[in-house]
């Protein structure tokens, strides 16, 4: 049995019915129309032959190559980058040089100012030290002048509440009668007055009679009168109780007024005290005398006497009186 052979049909050429196939595809290959019914404005494409396509690709490649060569030529080279870097560095160096110059100038000025400040600081320290030293010297000078003033008043006696007549008066005769009354049989035949006068202030009815101040040549007589006067704080004389005081410097009176709280505490605790010259507050404790001469000494002074702290006015910083006041504190009996 032999294999069945397929009967080969004769091939019909593709273009055997070109008209019928073309007519069938015409409905699908119509050109697109625009909104107005026309075409989209695209140019008709002409059939390209292999030769024309090869030429187009070649021209495109040439054009791209030319553009690449142009771009490559426009790109910065290493030399350009080096030149740009050098230019930037030079500009920065110039700017930094200017800044360094300004900084150096400022550093120099700052160093000069620091030197001036150090110099002024040294001078200011020396000035402060000198002022502090001068302050101490002024205080000691003030104390010395106060002591000299008190020494000059050493023979003075200040008498308060002696009636002042409307007309003139012989002050020495009045004082002679008063001192004879005080001393009694111990009175001398006469008192040698250097001067005797009323206090130099305007007379006022509200303030009462002005104080009488006298200066005796003989200090022993003055001291004897004051000792007798301390035994009687108020002495009746011509119908008035008179009081006698030592005539003291205004600075001393100011300090004594400031120390009144301390003397009040001393009196309250039955501690004997007295005033020293140059100025000092002296208090007797356990057989010894304790002294306070300046405001800074008061805390230590009270502590040594086993007394509580007491606040006082700093009489050194207080305004100094310009003249002797008629209102002097009274010295109790037993105190001087």
The alpha carbons of the chain give a radius of gyration, in whole angstroms, of 63
Q: Is residue 174 part of a domain?
A: yes
Q: Is residue 13 part of a domain?
A: no
Residues 276 and 327 in one domain: yes
d(CA 255, CA 8): 158
pLDDT at 1: 43
Q: Is residue 180 part of a domain?
A: yes
User: What digits encode the pLDDT tens for the residues 200-254?
Assistant: 888 887 888 999 999 999 999 999 999 999 888 778 898 889 999 999 999 999 9
CA 19 to chain centre: 117
Residue 133 has pLDDT above 80, yes or no: yes
User: What digits encode the pLDDT tens for the residues 311-328?
Assistant: 999 998 875 554 444 444
Percent of the chain whose pLDDT exceeds 70: 78
CATH number at residue 237: 3.30.70.1820
Residues 215 and 164 in one domain: yes
Residues 276 and 318 in one domain: yes
Give the best-scoring range by mean pLDDT among 52-61, 64-73, 213-222.
213-222
By CB atoms closer than 10 A (0-12, 13-18, 19+), residue 225 is buried
pLDDT at 198: 92
40 HSE (CA, 13 A, CB side): 5
Largest CA distance in the chain: 205
pLDDT at 296: 93
DSSP string, 280-310: EEEEEETTEEEEE-SGGGHHHHHHHTT----
Q: What integer is the mean pLDDT of 252-274?
A: 95
Residue 49 has pLDDT above 80, yes or no: no
By CB atoms closer than 10 A (0-12, 13-18, 19+), residue 149 is middle
Residues 201 and 265 in one domain: no
Residues 141 and 86 in one domain: yes
d(CA 216, CA 171): 13
Q: Is residue 328 part of a domain?
A: yes
Q: Is residue 12 part of a domain?
A: no
| Total domains, the chain | 3
Residues 178 and 223 in one domain: yes
d(CA 129, CA 135): 10
Q: Which residue has the tokens 């007024």?
A: 257
Q: What integer is the mean pLDDT of 8-21?
A: 48
Q: Is residue 44 part of a domain?
A: no
Residues 232 and 274 in one domain: no
CA distances for 295 relative to 143, 153, 159, 319, angstroms: 13, 24, 30, 15
CB 289 within 8 A of CB 282: yes
More confident residue, 335 or 177: 177
Residues 253 and 333 in one domain: yes
Lowest-confidence range among 22-31, 86-95, 110-119, 322-331? 322-331
Domain boundary pick from 204, 224, 247: 247
Lowest-confidence range among 11-20, 97-106, 117-126? 11-20
Residues 140 and 164 in one domain: no
Residue 83 has pLDDT above 80, yes or no: yes
Q: Is residue 8 part of a domain?
A: no
More confident residue, 238 or 126: 126
Q: Is residue 293 part of a domain?
A: yes
User: What digits encode the pLDDT tens for the residues 148-204?
Assistant: 999 999 999 999 999 888 777 899 999 999 999 999 877 777 889 999 999 988 888
Residue 40 has pLDDT above 60, yes or no: no
Domain boundary pick from 149, 170, 196: 149
Residue 283 has pLDDT above 90, yes or no: yes
pLDDT at 151: 93
Bond prior to 278 in cis (omega within 30° of 0): yes
Residues 179 and 208 in one domain: yes
pTM beyond 0.85, yes or no: no
More confident residue, 231 or 28: 231
pLDDT at 53: 55
State which residues form the domain around 181.
Answer: 153-247
Domain boundary pick from 205, 222, 247: 247
Residues 218 and 243 in one domain: yes
Residues 127 and 86 in one domain: yes
């Amino acid at each position: 049995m032999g294999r069945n052979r397929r009967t080969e049909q004769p091939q019909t050429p593709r273009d055997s019915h070109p008209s019928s196939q073309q007519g069938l595809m015409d409905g699908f290959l119509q050109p697109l129309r625009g909104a107005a019914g026309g075409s989209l404005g695209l140019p008709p494409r002409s059939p390209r032959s292999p030769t024309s396509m090869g030429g187009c690709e070649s021209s495109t490649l040439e054009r791209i190559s030319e553009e690449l060569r142009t771009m490559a030529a426009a790109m910065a080279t290493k030399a350009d980058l080096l030149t740009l870097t050098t230019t930037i560095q030079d500009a920065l160096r110039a700017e930094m040089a200017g800044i360094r110059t300004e900084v150096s100038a400022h550093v120099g000025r700052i160093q000069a100012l620091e030197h001036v400040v150090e110099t002024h600081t040294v001078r200011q320290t020396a000035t402060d030290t000198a002022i502090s030293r001068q302050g101490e010297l002024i205080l000691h000078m003030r104390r010395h002048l106060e002591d000299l003033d008190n020494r000059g008043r050493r023979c003075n006696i200040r008498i308060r509440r002696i009636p002042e007549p409307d007309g003139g008066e012989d002050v020495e005769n009045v004082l002679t009668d008063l001192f004879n009354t005080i001393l009694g049989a111990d009175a001398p035949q006469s008192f040698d007055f250097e001067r005797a006068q009323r206090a130099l202030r305007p007379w006022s009815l509200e303030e009462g009679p002005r104080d009488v101040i006298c200066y005796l040549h003989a200090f022993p007589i003055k001291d004897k009168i004051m000792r007798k006067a301390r035994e009687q704080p108020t002495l009746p004389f011509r119908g008035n109780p008179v009081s006698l005081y030592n005539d003291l410097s205004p600075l001393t009176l100011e300090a004594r007024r400031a120390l009144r709280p301390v003397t009040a505490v001393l009196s309250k605790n039955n501690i004997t005290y007295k005033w020293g010259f140059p100025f000092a507050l002296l208090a007797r404790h356990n057989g010894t005398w304790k002294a306070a001469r300046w405001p800074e000494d008061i805390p230590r002074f009270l502590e040594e006497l086993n007394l509580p702290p007491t606040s006082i006015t700093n009489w050194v910083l207080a305004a100094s009186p310009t003249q002797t006041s008629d209102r002097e504190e009274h010295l109790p009996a037993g105190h001087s």
